[in-house]
């Protein structure tokens, strides 16, 4: 048995739609995770992605025709449909979902889907009105009843200019669902040991989300942080093999698969939990920790009384977790990364913060009104290191997390110094 056949295997069916271009990133993410990915590209999908690009990323032949004599001799559509551990349709258009629901087999993709005894997953992508149409909703319920796992869709802006549900979920989200599906598949095909991953054996601590500093039992000082970016970074580092501990302020998010976690509320609690998790190789302080807390929080609700002036709140500084970790002494983590959420002079303020805190890197972002970064799904980052300044384009927070995790991994290859490479 070859090393390649020992890998978990996914058969990815790329159907036609503007979102088909995201399948290329999904293939790259699966390959990085050690998953063998063979692809079927429909005729409609070829209008958006080329089979050559798919083949280059997957390293596998691309299947397109039901009646290819060569493919039938070497593989056979029945064997192809059953040899994978998971069949994934991404993107799944309204058209292919309808054919799946009604058992049609009029091309290679739908013939494979009808012939398979392998678990099937589909990630829908279509116009909001198509997604909301009763026929599509009935088809989705039919497929769910048959055991097809539906991933998404997300709300978002469509290529047609409309906004609403129907947008393909991000490739990293589909990747995570696939990895979970592979582990739960009836064949019990396990992902290969992650010995080849760059951060195996490394310990990482991530802080994420806001802190809530109590005023009284019902009120607190807080901020708009959702925790999305910190959670995404924790998941991205875990996928590269790191042993990750996520220290989270109050959020509604679930801890990423494979990540150890602790939930806290205040800055003092976050500090204690972070220090308790040391030693570590990597610390990423992505949490939006409140700078101040009320000197004396009351045990009873502060009542509003007619004619009475508003209460005067005395604020005191919260602990500076980033500065404390950066100056921890002989056990200082090898790479300490802070975040700078700024509204004015973003780059200049972030450079000053890096020098003031003593951390290795700062990830700066503009959170001013209208950017929708604080609490939103996307981010635009400026990475500031000893080597210089890198300005990254706006991208989904999952993608930014993966990019940052890959840069972190570079620092632990061949004992590289703690400094990012300058971007030409």
Last residue of a domain, one of 184, 204, 219: 184
Count up the domains in the chain and report the number: 2
Q: Is 357 annotated as a binding residue?
A: yes
Residue 415 lies in a domain: no
pLDDT at 186 over 70: no
Residue 418 lies in a domain: no
Give the pLDDT confidence score for residue 321 in this predicted structure. 95
What CATH number does the domain containing 109 carry? 3.40.50.1950
160 is catalytic: yes
Residue 331 lies in a domain: yes
Residues 372-410 have pLDDT tens digits of 777 677 888 999 999 999 999 888 888 889 899 999 999
To the nearest whole number, what is the mean pLDDT of the chain? Answer: 84
Q: Catalytic residue among 39, 160, 285, 359, which?
A: 160
Q: Is 322 annotated as a binding residue?
A: yes
More confident site: 62 or 156: 62
Same structural domain, 268 and 363: yes
Q: What are the phi and psi torsion angles at 92 (to 5°)? A: -105, 110
- Structural domain of 373: 195-301+311-410
pLDDT at 231 over 60: yes
Check: CB of residue 29 under 8 Å from CB of residue 172: yes
Same structural domain, 241 and 114: no
Q: Is 57 annotated as a binding residue?
A: no
Residue 421 lies in a domain: no
Give the pLDDT confidence score for residue 420 in this predicted structure. 42
What CATH number does the domain containing 322 carry? 3.40.50.10300
Give the pLDDT confidence score for residue 422 in this predicted structure. 39
Residue 372 lies in a domain: yes
Residues 251-309 have pLDDT tens digits of 988 888 778 889 999 999 999 999 999 999 999 999 999 999 999 888 989 888 888 88
Residues 28-80 have pLDDT tens digits of 998 888 888 888 989 998 888 888 888 888 888 888 876 654 444 444 556 67
Evaluate the omega torsion of the peptide bond into residue 197 and state whether it is cis, within 30 degrees of 0. Answer: no
Q: Is 321 annotated as a binding residue?
A: yes
Give the pLDDT confidence score for residue 421 in this predicted structure. 39
Same structural domain, 143 and 206: no
pLDDT at 160 over 80: no
Same structural domain, 353 and 292: yes
Same structural domain, 85 and 225: no
Same structural domain, 63 and 168: yes
Same structural domain, 38 and 135: yes
Give the pLDDT confidence score for residue 74 in this predicted structure. 47
- β-strand 62-63 against 378-379: which pairing, if any? unpaired
Check: CB of residue 32 under 8 Å from CB of residue 192: no
- What is the torsional sign of CA 53, 59, 62, 68? positive
Q: How far apart, in Å, are the Cα atoms of 152 and each of 90, 92, 155, 160, 193?
A: 11, 10, 9, 19, 29
Could you identify the residue written with the tokens 């110094």? Answer: 417
Q: Is 301 annotated as a binding residue?
A: yes
Give the pLDDT confidence score for residue 364 in this predicted structure. 92
Residue 422 lies in a domain: no
Residue 177 lies in a domain: yes
Last residue of a domain, one of 129, 152, 184: 184
pTM higher than the cut 0.75: no
C-alpha to C-alpha distance for 153 and 150, rounded to whole angstroms: 8
Give the pLDDT confidence score for residue 159 in this predicted structure. 61
Q: Is 397 annotated as a binding residue?
A: no
pLDDT band at 355 (very low <50, low <70, confident <90, very high): very high
> For the residues 335-343, what does the mean pLDDT come to?
92
Two tokens, residue 209: 């989300």
pLDDT at 210 over 90: yes
pLDDT band at 193 (very low <50, low <70, confident <90, very high): very low
> For the residues 177-181, what does the mean pLDDT come to?
82
Q: Is 12 annotated as a binding residue?
A: no
Same structural domain, 129 and 243: no
Q: Is 317 annotated as a binding residue?
A: no
Same structural domain, 203 and 167: no
Same structural domain, 359 and 252: yes
Same structural domain, 161 and 262: no
Residue 417 lies in a domain: no
Long-range CB pairs of 347-350, under 8 A, 24+ apart, other chains included: 347/382, 347/384, 347/389, 350/382, 350/384
pLDDT at 219 over 80: yes
Same structural domain, 94 and 207: no
Last residue of a domain, one of 153, 184, 215: 184
């Amino acid at each position: 048995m070859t090393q390649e056949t020992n890998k978990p295997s996914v058969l990815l069916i790329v159907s036609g739609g503007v979102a088909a271009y995201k399948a290329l990133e999904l293939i790259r993410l699966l390959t990085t995770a050690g998953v063998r990915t063979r692809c079927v590209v429909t005729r409609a999908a070829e209008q958006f992605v080329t089979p050559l690009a798919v083949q280059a990323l997957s390293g596998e032949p691309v299947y397109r025709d039901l009646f290819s004599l060569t493919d039938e001799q070497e593989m056979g559509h029945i064997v192809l449909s059953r040899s994978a551990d998971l069949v994934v349709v991404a993107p799944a258009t309204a058209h292919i979902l309808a054919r799946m629901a009604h058992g049609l087999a009029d091309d290679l993709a739908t013939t494979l889907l009808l012939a398979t005894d392998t678990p099937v997953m589909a990630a829908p992508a279509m116009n909001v009105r198509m997604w909301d149409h009763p026929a599509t909703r009935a088809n989705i319920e039919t497929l769910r009843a048959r055991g097809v796992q539906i991933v998404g869709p997300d709300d978002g802006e469509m290529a047609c200019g409309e906004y609403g549900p129907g947008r393909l979920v991000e490739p990293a989200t589909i990747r995570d669902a696939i990895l979970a599906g592979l582990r739960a598949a009836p064949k019990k095909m396990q992902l290969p040991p992650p010995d080849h991953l760059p951060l195996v054996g490394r310990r990482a601590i991530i802080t994420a989300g806001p802190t809530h500093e109590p005023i009284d039992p019902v009120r607190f000082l807080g901020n708009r942080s959702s925790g999305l970016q910190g959670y995404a970074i924790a998941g991205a580092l875990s996928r590269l093999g790191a042993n990750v501990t996520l220290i989270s302020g109050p959020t509604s998010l679930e801890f990423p698969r494979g990540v150890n976690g602790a939930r806290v509320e205040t800055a003092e609690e976050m500090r204690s939990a972070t220090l308790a998790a040391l030693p570590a190789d990597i610390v990423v302080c992505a949490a939006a920790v409140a700078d101040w807390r009320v000197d004396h929080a009351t045990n009873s609700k502060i009542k509003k009384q007619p004619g009475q002036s508003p209460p005067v709140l005395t604020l005191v500084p919260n602990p500076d977790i980033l500065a404390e970790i950066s100056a921890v002494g002989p056990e200082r983590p090898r790479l300490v990364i802070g975040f700078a959420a700024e509204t004015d002079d973003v780059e200049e303020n972030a450079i000053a913060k890096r020098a003031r805190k003593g951390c290795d890197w700062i990830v700066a972002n503009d959170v001013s009104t209208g950017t929708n970064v604080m609490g939103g799904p996307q981010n635009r980052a400026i990475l500031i290191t000893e080597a210089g300044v890198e300005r990254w384009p706006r991208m989904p927070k999952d993608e930014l997390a993966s990019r940052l995790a890959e840069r972190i991994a570079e620092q632990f290859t061949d004992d590289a110094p703690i400094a990012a490479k300058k971007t030409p």
